[in-house]
Chains A and B, each alone.
Chain A
Amino acid sequence: MSRSVRVAVALHEEGANIGLHRFALFTACCTAFLIFVGGLVTSTQSGLSVPDWPTTYGSNMFTFPFSKWVGGIFYEHSHRLVASFVGSLTVILAFWTWVAEKRQGVRWLAVAALGAVVAQGVLGGLTVMLLLPTSISMAHACLAQTFFCLVIAMALLTSPRWKQGLPIAFSTKTSRSSITLPLLTAVTTGAIYIQLLLGALMRHTDSGLAIRDFPLSFGRIIPHFTTSHIAIHFSHRVGALLVSVMIVWTFLTVRNEYRKNTLLRRPATVLFSLLWLQLMLGAWTVWSEKAVLITTAHVATGALVLGTSVLLMLRAWVMVPVPLREAAWR
């Protein structure tokens, strides 16, 4: 192969990969929007306003007339259409990645995203057909967050910067904290995920206003657990406290040890900022007695917190040297 042909092939591959990265990024943005729309369905209690699935009042869901998108149908049907769009994007992303990507790990990650979106669609249908059982609704909510993490990882791993190889980040402190940043970010991400599980449990058991005051709980620091709803609600508040500690710890570790590394500092700062926004929205959700937009913004911001934490975690695992660790994705 002549040099000019090799250069042409390389340029073509580069172009294709940048396109793949942008497409993955677009899919991630659409997924964030989908989570917001899904949150609206629960906030407006519209989950069963379209009683059949995958049809909509007996019609093909893609040809259901706009004039009939009334009341709760507007939210539920919009959610189905946005979900179908994201599903289609994921199908394309998976096939594109399988064809264009050489790294086996990334290819299988795309397949995992495809599997997750298919499972998510089935769960969405089951929530309707089985009349919103808590277990299925919760699984649907949690898989949504998992899928969001997968597409964020796809967007990150297909980025030119990642493929060129991220620089090694060395701690500026001689006496480092007892826990390494990769482990800390992993624990933080896990804590956020569990907190989102608790949030989903709270929403789908209708426990969002089981405690109607904030920051106290029935005027006390720890309420009497007279109902399971109160216990679920309070566990979400305790979870918020623990997640806050973890995020602040992560942020301070990055700021103190990796201050000059923008690839770590920026997501850590965004994560720290989103935390305060999320706490404010959580309090406002209670004070506003679950106003639709505030509650939904709380759900969507939760997803953004998780996504940012996943991004920081992946970078930390690759950039920060840890003994016996393989940089599998590089």
Chain B
Amino acid sequence: MRKLSLLVCSLMLLLLAACGGNSNNEIPPLPAGGGATAGGEAPPAATASIMGKISFEGAVPKPAKLQTGADSNCKKELFSEDTKVKDGGLANVIIYVSGGDLAGKTYAPPSTSVEIEQIDCHYIPHAFVIQVGQELSVKNGDPTLHNIHTVGDVNPQWNVGQPVKDMVNKHTFDKEEVLLPVKCDVHGWMKAFIAVVSNPFATVSAEGGAYELKLPAGKFEITAIHEKYGKQTVMVEVKDGDKTMKNFSFKASDAKSGN
């Protein structure tokens, strides 16, 4: 019986040792997708632009108050950002060149990073654009644990923990994917959306729905896409120096239902 007890105790110690972590809160790298830097030529200079307003038609849903009580570090009152409307204009719509003269072309990613920060258990920005191969920098600005988890269909999932305030993780996506959801599994209300695009000609509508998309001269397919209200596509032709007006309109009735 004594031998048995010794054996059991030894196994327990082995189990404890196996589950032991390092002491300095550094998380070993987890399996991550992407990482490959996309090659390609330098993009043509943007010498024209299209601009306009993303309008919202129909009854504007009242932003739902998010239940953030699961973590006492998340004290700020937060509201859902899936329908951000001001003066009849819809924010967080991605507008990008999806085809036309740039179809099939891959451009070298810029050397600058795109940054997303977690502040008050909330992603800033909520929707943003990144180019294939461009570096994404994710910062935890909160004194609590976050995990950043990208849930792509095309790009492999990426999930890393950020246990320490001001911790920064970097990542790149190697395939085009619009839209790619981002979430925090610790705080279920935290959601953001990334447009991973193959060219640098993309933007996001600001508060009030205004946008400006800078382009080279040519004929392009332009897509405007929103996380909840779907997408619209138009063909646009611009010449050097043009400033073309193009408005989009999203309808309340097109809202996707939740899961």
Interface residues of A (CB under 8 A from B): 44-52, 54-62, 68, 70-74, 76, 84, 87-88, 91-92, 95-96, 99, 129-131, 206, 209
Contact across chains for B185 and A47 when beta carbons are under 8 A apart:
yes
* Bound-complex Cα distance A38 to B11 (A): 24
Question: Using an 8 Å CB-CB cutoff, how does the interface string of B4-37 with A read, 1 for contact, 0 for none?
Answer: 1001100110011011111011111011000000
- Asked whether A49 and B1 contact (CB < 8 A) given A57-B161, A70-B186, A129-B31, the answer is no
* Bound-complex Cα distance A87 to B18 (A): 14
Which residues of the partner chain B approach A68 to less than 8 Å between Cβ atoms?
Answer: 144-145, 163
- Residue of B4, B20, B27 near A57 (CB, 8 A) is B27
- Residue of A46, A59, A87, A91 near B21 (CB, 8 A) is A59
Which residues in chain B, 135-175, are within 8 Å of chain A measured between CB atoms? 144-145, 147, 149, 157, 159-161, 163
Chain A interface helix/strand/loop/mixed = loop
* Bound-complex Cα distance A51 to B28 (A): 10
Contact across chains for B15 and A131 when beta carbons are under 8 A apart:
no
Which residues of the partner chain B approach A74 to less than 8 Å between Cβ atoms?
Answer: 70
Contact across chains for A61 and B21 when beta carbons are under 8 A apart:
yes
Chain B interface helix/strand/loop/mixed = loop
* Bound-complex Cα distance A90 to B160 (A): 32
A-B contacts besides A49-B147, A130-B31, 14 pairs, CB < 8 Å: A48-B159, A50-B147, A52-B161, A55-B21, A56-B21, A57-B145, A62-B19, A70-B70, A70-B145, A71-B185, A73-B145, A74-B70, A96-B4, A206-B259
Contact across chains for B15 and A70 when beta carbons are under 8 A apart:
no
- Residue of B7, B30, B184, B188 near A52 (CB, 8 A) is B30
B73 interface residue per 8 A CB criterion: yes
- Asked whether A51 and B161 contact (CB < 8 A) given A59-B25, A73-B145, A99-B1, the answer is yes
* Bound-complex Cα distance A61 to B147 (A): 17
Which residues of the partner chain A approach B186 to less than 8 Å between Cβ atoms?
Answer: 46, 49, 70-73
- Asked whether A62 and B16 contact (CB < 8 A) given A95-B4, A129-B31, A131-B157, the answer is yes
**Quick one: closest B residue to A88, CB to CB?**
B12
- Residue of B20, B70, B160 near A71 (CB, 8 A) is B70
**Quick one: closest A residue to B21, CB to CB?**
A55
Which residues of the partner chain A approach B72 to less than 8 Å between Cβ atoms?
Answer: 70
Contact across chains for A99 and B4 when beta carbons are under 8 A apart:
yes
Number of A-B residue pairs having CB atoms within 8 Å of each other in the complex: 110
- Asked whether A46 and B185 contact (CB < 8 A) given A59-B25, A95-B8, the answer is yes
Which residues of the partner chain B approach A47 to less than 8 Å between Cβ atoms?
Answer: 185
B219 interface residue per 8 A CB criterion: no
* B103 shortest CB reach to chain A, Å: 30
Which residues of the partner chain A approach B30 to less than 8 Å between Cβ atoms?
Answer: 51-52, 129
Contact across chains for A51 and B19 when beta carbons are under 8 A apart:
no
Contact across chains for A61 and B22 when beta carbons are under 8 A apart:
no
B126 interface residue per 8 A CB criterion: no
* Bound-complex Cα distance A49 to B186 (A): 5
Contact across chains for B161 and A50 when beta carbons are under 8 A apart:
yes
Question: Using an 8 Å CB-CB cutoff, how does the interface string of B73-107 with A read, 1 for contact, 0 for none?
Answer: 10000000000000000000000000000000000
Which residues of the partner chain A approach B21 to less than 8 Å between Cβ atoms?
Answer: 55-56, 58-61
* B259 shortest CB reach to chain A, Å: 7
Which residues of the partner chain B approach A95 to less than 8 Å between Cβ atoms?
Answer: 4, 7-8
Which residues of the partner chain B approach A99 to less than 8 Å between Cβ atoms?
Answer: 1, 4
* Bound-complex Cα distance A176 to B161 (A): 62
* Bound-complex Cα distance A68 to B15 (A): 23
* A72 shortest CB reach to chain B, Å: 5
Which residues of the partner chain B approach A62 to less than 8 Å between Cβ atoms?
Answer: 16, 19
Q: Which 4 A-B pairs have the closest CB atoms?
A: A55-B21, A49-B185, A70-B71, A57-B163
Can you show 12 pairs from A to B with CB atoms below 8 A apart?
Answer: A48-B185, A50-B161, A55-B28, A56-B21, A58-B28, A60-B21, A61-B19, A71-B70, A71-B186, A129-B31, A130-B31, A131-B31
* Bound-complex Cα distance A60 to B19 (A): 6
**Quick one: closest A residue to B158, CB to CB?**
A131
* A252 shortest CB reach to chain B, Å: 40
- Residue of A57, A58, A131, A209 near B259 (CB, 8 A) is A209
* Bound-complex Cα distance A323 to B144 (A): 65
* B84 shortest CB reach to chain A, Å: 24
Which residues of the partner chain B approach A92 to less than 8 Å between Cβ atoms?
Answer: 8
**Quick one: closest B residue to A44, CB to CB?**
B188
* B140 shortest CB reach to chain A, Å: 11
Contact across chains for A87 and B185 when beta carbons are under 8 A apart:
no
Which residues of the partner chain A approach B187 to less than 8 Å between Cβ atoms?
Answer: 70-72
**Quick one: closest B residue to A210, CB to CB?**
B259
